[in-house]
Amino acid sequence: MKTKEKVYRGSGNVFADIGAAYPGRTLARAQIMFRIAEIIIKERHLTQKEASELLDIPQSKISCLVNGKLSMFSIDLLLVLLNKLDRDVEIIIKPKTKEEKVASTHVLVAA
């Protein structure tokens, strides 16, 4: 006899779905890391060694970055890395909307 697996609709934030302490900030960090990895690999076609030299961090940290090891990177370091990759970073602070129960953190990537 087959057992039916339950399927749950995600919230759009996997970190909220798994009960992470600060899911919005964790998702933002993951999105920034993903974007940095995209710039390094897809846009610049850099090896980990070349990226390491450009960003002035050990090659092992480049590996952690492209493999999504969130605990290795603070938001502050990620913003520095974006600047080293010739990316401007703008932070907008605004009141939450009336529809939101709590204030949130979002990452918007411009082309």
Residue of 77, 86, 91 lying closest to 40 (CA atoms): 86
pLDDT band, very low/low/confident/very high, at 9 (cuts 50, 70, 90): confident
Q: How far apart are CA 107 and CA 82, in angstroms?
A: 13
Q: Check pLDDT > 70 for residue 91.
A: yes
For the whole model, what pTM was predicted? 0.84
Domains and CATH numbers, the chain: 14-84 (1.10.260)
The average confidence (pLDDT) of the chain is 92
How far is residue 47's CA from residue 59's CA, in Å, rounded to a whole number? 10
In angstroms, the Cα distances linking 23 to 1, 11, 26, 52 are 38, 11, 5, 29
Q: What's the pLDDT tens digit per position in 22-68? A: 898 999 999 999 999 999 999 999 999 999 999 999 999 999 999 99
User: Residue 99: pLDDT above 80?
Assistant: yes
